[in-house]
A and B are shown apart, each in its own frame.
Chain A
Amino acid sequence: MKKKAGGGTGKNAKPNADVWELRLYVAGQTPKSLAAFANLKKICEEHLKGRYHIEVVDLLKNPQLASGDQILAIPTLVRKLPAPLKKIIGDLSNTLRVLVGLDVRPKM
């Protein structure tokens, strides 16, 4: 299994409040998970370049983590920071809705 968690860490993560902490819950390497990760990466690069941090949690490996964030649907993207907590489910294929869900103002 490919280590996605490592690949997803944001570049030059500044330790300030402006950093977006995102967590993507997946269950194995399903097409939906892979698509979700790819879509997320793309959106972040486009809109949050340099101020994001993605953690990928594979529930197949750590099933006990599912209850922490109340994860039911897979894939689920959780915006840990900035508050409030937001959840986005699905493969993140609808970019506009992801942006709305993450509350990211798209760059004009």
Chain B
Amino acid sequence: MAKEKTRLLRGLQKVRTGIEGLDEITNGGLPKGRPTLVCGGAGSGKTLLGMEFLVRGAMQFNEPGVFMSFEESAEELTKNVASLGFDLNRLLASKKLLVDYVHIERSEIEETGEYDLEGLFIRLGNAIDSIGAKRVVLDTIESLFAGLPNPSILRAELRRLFRWLKKKGMTAVITGERGDNALTRHGLEEYVSDCVILLDHRVLNQISTRRLRIVKYRGSTHGTNEFPFLIDERGLAVMPITSLGLKHTVTSQRIPTGIPRLDSMLGEKGYFRGSSILVSGTAGTGKTSIAAHFIDAACRRGERSVFFAFEESPSQIIRNMRSIGIDLQQWVGKGLLKFHADRPTVYGLEAHLASMHKYIDMFKPKVVVVDPVTNLSTVASEADVKSMLIRLLDQMKFSQITALFTTLTAPTSSLELTEVGISSLADTWLLLRDIEIGGERNRGLYILKSRGMAHSNQIREFLLTDKGVDLIDVYVGPSGVLTGSARISQESQERDIESIHQQELERRKMNVETKRKALEAQIASLRAQFQAEEQELKKLTEQEKMRQNGVSKLREKIAGMRKEDSNSERRKR
């Protein structure tokens, strides 16, 4: 991005400083072949900025540099910057760097008439030529005003010096002490006006923050904000993360939450990779446990994760999470998990941000947990915390890091109003809340939002078991939402009612059966009766038949006896 810009602005070429973040806010570095004024109060990091400019130039861009020091000797400088990881002696030996200590003792000097600073020019020119320097730092040239009389000559000479440096094509950094009403005590900004960087060291609420601002930069766009910066064992680092903006690419890859039931609430798959997850809730609702599950799941996949703790020490977190069956120690042992615990009040917010940045840059995790972000608001205003989190999130989204933040909501305030107003930054927002019913406090979880995925609208009861977090359905019935023992008793009541119903049904079934049996018996007896009657009837019929048979035989007999004419005749009758 920065390169494109410089190409567009053909008129001005820039020199990369190599200082983390500074090249971004200047859109490519300091103006090439021109002097840059770096001003600031005592201890604001001017000398360090100058030295890092040279060291990085020599090491990264193969541009040798001359450091002309008016305050500290080469030995002192070497010792001072050794703590920042710069090995000056090696650079000095390899002729990549030259330190010229200019020492003036006011008491030794008497002025007698006109003079000029040709000696300084010659010294500097000699130093530049001897190593083929491209970069020059003058630190702090203003001390000449204390050492040499006749400021009007000095001013004219300094103006000539800066012109001379420009003519030699040196990219120079000139440091100056901050003045009362001006940028520098002796008005150097009048002469060095191509690029002015102001360093500031402010103490607010007993917490100090270093800030850097580009006051002007002729012929170039630049970040105009005050950017916090940090000086630590790796040198100076400016935090210009706002420049990343909303340009990150996203993936639709999903990663599990570590809690199977929560995954299923989030459309069966879990969070999006690279998204930001906000877990908010009142004290003791299990925010850290959700975070630990997430970390545990990430480490199981073999992904690196960082846990930024602002409330508990690492060992405390490990112990506490062991009680719910999550062994974080094993991941620490395998180097997959890093804890970074600090009290928020240790240093300013920006320093926190910077150190988190560096940590993330160094360790390159896939998953980051910040627990809890609200603690940071003890050291800064909410707006500051928010802007810090935006920057942090931007960086993480840019590098596709999934971030989980926990925030503590005050029990009195609305649950959906997180203290630092970061809710709009969250892609997925889990809300943990207490549900107080029947003299019990139970935990409930629901998903307030989850951008870009189908998610459950149900409240779940959140149980911390010795096997981790368990989510179960709450009882939703005519008497409202019930949790905990109320849910259990309600459920058992329901079971009772159910069994009563069941018994009733059984009883009725039996009744009917008996009735059926009785009826069947009745039918059987009737049938038997009927059969008996039928039998009787049959018997009678046969008897009748036999009787009739007997009568006819008798008649024949009688007729035979009577000697009647014939049977046939008799039959005609």
Q: Do A and B come from one complex?
A: yes
Q: Residues of B contacting A88 with CB < 8 Å?
A: 109-112
B116 A87 Cβ-Cβ under 8 A:
no
Shortest beta-carbon distance, B84 to chain A, in Å?
A: 26
Classify the interface of chain B: helix, strand, loop or mixed: mixed
Q: Residues of B contacting A82 with CB < 8 Å?
A: none
Q: Residues of B contacting A92 with CB < 8 Å?
A: 112-113
B103 A91 Cβ-Cβ under 8 A:
no
Taking the complex as formed, is B125 at the interface, i.e. its CB lies under 8 A from any CB of chain A? yes
A93 B114 Cβ-Cβ under 8 A:
yes
Docked Cα-Cα span, A92 to B122, in Å, equals: 21
Docked Cα-Cα span, A70 to B120, in Å, equals: 9
Docked Cα-Cα span, A92 to B110, in Å, equals: 10
Selected contact of A93 from candidates B112, B119, B120, B148, CB within 8 Å? B112
Selected contact of B123 from candidates A63, A84, A94, CB within 8 Å? A63
Selected contact of A87 from candidates B102, B108, B126, CB within 8 Å? B108
Docked Cα-Cα span, A93 to B198, in Å, equals: 42
Extra inter-chain contacts (16) besides given A76-B115, A88-B109, A101-B112, CB under 8 Å = A27-B121, A59-B118, A72-B117, A72-B119, A72-B120, A73-B116, A73-B119, A73-B148, A74-B118, A84-B108, A89-B110, A89-B112, A91-B113, A92-B112, A92-B113, A93-B114
- Nearest B residue to A95 by beta-carbon distance? B112
Given contacts A73-B116, A89-B148, contact A97 B123 (CB under 8 A): no
Q: Residues of A contacting B42 with CB < 8 Å?
A: none
What is the 8 Å Cβ interface bit string for chain A, positions 65-102, against chain B (1 contact, 0 not)?
01100111111100000001111111111100110110
Shortest beta-carbon distance, B49 to chain A, in Å?
A: 24
B126 A25 Cβ-Cβ under 8 A:
no
Selected contact of A63 from candidates B103, B114, B126, B148, CB within 8 Å? B126
**A residues near B, CB below 8 A?**
25, 27, 30, 32, 35-36, 59-60, 63-64, 66-67, 70-76, 84-94, 97-98, 100-101
Docked Cα-Cα span, A94 to B112, in Å, equals: 5
Docked Cα-Cα span, A55 to B28, in Å, equals: 50
- Nearest A residue to B150 by beta-carbon distance? A90
A97 B110 Cβ-Cβ under 8 A:
yes
- Nearest B residue to A28 by beta-carbon distance? B118
Q: Residues of A contacting B149 with CB < 8 Å?
A: 89
What is the 8 Å Cβ interface bit string for chain B, positions 285-305, against chain A (1 contact, 0 not)?
000000000000000000000
Q: Residues of B contacting A67 with CB < 8 Å?
A: 100, 102, 123
A27 B122 Cβ-Cβ under 8 A:
yes
What is the 8 Å Cβ interface bit string for chain B, positions 104-145, against chain A (1 contact, 0 not)?
100011111111111111110110000000000000000010
Q: Residues of A contacting B118 with CB < 8 Å?
A: 27, 30, 59, 73-74
B116 A74 Cβ-Cβ under 8 A:
yes
Given contacts A64-B126, A72-B144, contact A97 B112 (CB under 8 A): yes
Q: Residues of A contacting B104 with CB < 8 Å?
A: 70, 72
Pairs across A and B, CB under 8 Å, 8 listed: A27-B122, A32-B116, A36-B113, A59-B122, A63-B122, A66-B123, A85-B108, A97-B110
Docked Cα-Cα span, A88 to B148, in Å, equals: 11
Residue from the set B117, B122, B123 with the largest chain A CB neighbour count within 10 Å = B122
